[in-house]
Amino acid sequence: MWSEHVISRFLRTIEADDVVVAFHQLHPSPIYIHNESWSQIIHGTLAVPQELKAEFVRTKILIESIETDVKELVMYREGVRNFMNRPSILYLMLAQGCNNACTYCPIPKLAERYGDNLLSFDDAIAGIKLWQEHLKDEIDDEPYCLILYGGEPLLNRAVLEKVLEYVAVERMGGRLPSKLELLLITNGLLVDDSLATLLAEHNVLTVLGIDGIPVSNNETRRTSEGMPTSAAIEFACRLLLKSGVRLAASMTLTPKNVFAVSEHKAYFFSLGIRSIGFNILKGTALNACLGTMSSTEYYCAAARAVISEYQLNGEKLQEYQLQKRLEAIESSQPFAVDCTCYGSQIVVQADGVVSNCPFLRVDLGHVRSLPDSFRIAQTETVRAWRQRIPLFMNGEPNSFLYGGGCAWGSQELYGSVVTQDCGSELFNSEVMHGLTRKLLPDQAREQLRSGELAYWCYRGIRNL
């Protein structure tokens, strides 16, 4: 059928209505073919058009020999290891406690277990210095991120302000990456004019936790005294935007709010927010609020929310989950690693303990006691967690859509960090399959149906 070529064992297909999407598992660049034509090609009753054959060769679906597959897998695995070994993120958990009591949040239990701590300035600086030691090995021109997190980080405002000043000095001295993004993740209840001015001065991307329209948000995000939070969040939003702060929203998709995404997006637009990130529930938090919905129904609904129409009134509302996957397809890369806990981040907890995950704490030592030679990617914890990534299992990857999922969720549900995270697998599969379907323009679909086009492939998502 393919003359001098053989079909790569990494050929994968997706059925999308009356179209087959073919792609290479390790370098997915979707090629769309009408299902009847595909069936005839596979059964040898239709000659492969030269243009289509050339596209299969370009995407390495057609290869010269099986040795090509072996080399591709070795190179791809090495590339993923290098990515996971890159210390791109530092979390400073400024506060263990919070002034909110969100219905699904794990923070209250963590505060009960580990103490309602505030990160000291000395521990914060030690965390930055530890990160700088990592960066000596790996620093490049790619973006890096310092995340100020909690609990509620504004409960520790004095240290937050000192950290921002310290980071500014280190950046000016060239001791931190030039492409460094500062993120503050907050519920917004403690925002005031002076803080907004400070955040704008230091160009901090501020992410407000908002669970959509007020009726939805007030059901899940309430203060520790049980009061609704939407009015305070809206006030913080106006204040931050007025001061010129770059603003985004973080919305947790729950079984109750997941079906009203268009309303939530319109609400974000009304607040002046153009960038959001949808968070999916995991572990026991999801089970506690499922009600009559199954977890499968929830993950499928959450995936539909992510890939839903993301244009409103001619403007784009950028969604983090969607953008990550668009970038993966644009660069012909599978979503092989779901989480930065596999070696790409250092987390300094509020009591100074270093871990690789903000929520599933593993004590890797106190930040001020670790030697300069300490590397998060070389710890036994990270090595153990990497065992859950399908790319490194059973001799070859078994799914380009699934990148290991959430170890914290697996630990909560099954008592093991290496147990398969079926929820994340389903969510990622549904997002990638749905997104792949959406990327085929209606006109191209009609041309495939009519036979006007033998195939269609996409060469630039950002132009769609």
Q: How far is CA 399 from the centre of its chain?
A: 18
Instruction: Look at residue 142 in the predicted model and tell me its pLDDT.
Output: 83
Given a contact cutoff of 8 angstroms between Cβ atoms, the answer to whether 248 and 276 are in contact is: yes
Residue 1 domain-assigned?
Answer: no
Task: Assess whether 430 and 445 both reside in one domain.
Answer: no
pLDDT at position 156 is: 98
pLDDT confidence of residue 392: 80
pLDDT digits (tens, 9 = 90+) for 343-367: 999 999 999 999 999 999 899 999 9
Any domain includes 464: no
Nearest CA-CA partner of 278 in 223, 247, 323: 323
Domain identity same for 120 and 26 = no
Amino acid 29: pLDDT: 87
DSSP collapsed to 3 states, 330-383: HCCCCCCCCCHHHCCEEEECCCCEEECCCCCCCCCCECCCCCCCCCHHHCHHHH
**pLDDT under 50: residue ranges of the chain:** 312-313, 460-464
Q: Is residue 124 part of a domain?
A: yes
Can you give the pLDDT at residue 260? 93
Q: Let me know if residue 198 belongs to a domain.
A: yes
For residue 462, being part of any structural domain is answered with no
366: in domain: yes
pLDDT at 451: 86
Q: 412 φ, ψ to 5°?
A: -65, -40
Residue 381 has a pLDDT of 95
Q: Which pLDDT does position 349 carry in this prediction?
A: 97
Q: How far apart are alpha carbons 458 and 435 in whole angstroms?
A: 13
- Euclidean distance between the first and final Cα of the chain, in Å? 34
Q: In this structure, are 181 and 217 located in the same domain?
A: yes
Q: How far apart, in Å, are the Cα atoms of 248 and each of 47, 369, 372?
A: 51, 36, 35
CB 114 within 8 A of CB 150: no
The number of folded domains in the chain is 3
- C-alpha 420/C-alpha 434 separation (Å) is 22
| pLDDT, tens digit, 9 for 90 and up, residues 404-445 | 888 998 998 899 988 888 888 889 888 888 888 888 888 988
Same domain flag for 452 and 366? no
By the 8 A CB rule, do 143 and 86 touch?
no
**Is 61 in the same domain as 103?**
no
349 with 396, same domain?
no
Return phi, psi of residue 20, to 5°.
Answer: -105, 130
Kindly give the residue spans of alpha helices, DSSP state H, lying in 251-319.
261-271, 283-289, 295-307
Is residue 112 situated within a structural domain? yes
Q: Same domain for 284 and 194?
A: yes
Residue 369 belongs to domain spanning: 87-376
Indicate the SS3 state at residue 228. strand
CB-based contacts of 447: which residues, under 8 Å, 6+ apart? Answer: 453, 456
Q: What is the pTM of this model?
A: 0.92
Residues 407 and 267 in one domain: no
Residue 115 sits in a domain whose CATH number is: 3.20.20.70
My answer on whether 269 and 186 are in the same domain is yes
327 and 449 together in one domain: no
- Assigned domain for 280 exists: yes
Residues 425 and 341 in one domain: no
Residue 259: per-residue pLDDT: 94
Regarding whether 153 and 65 lie in a shared domain, the answer is: no
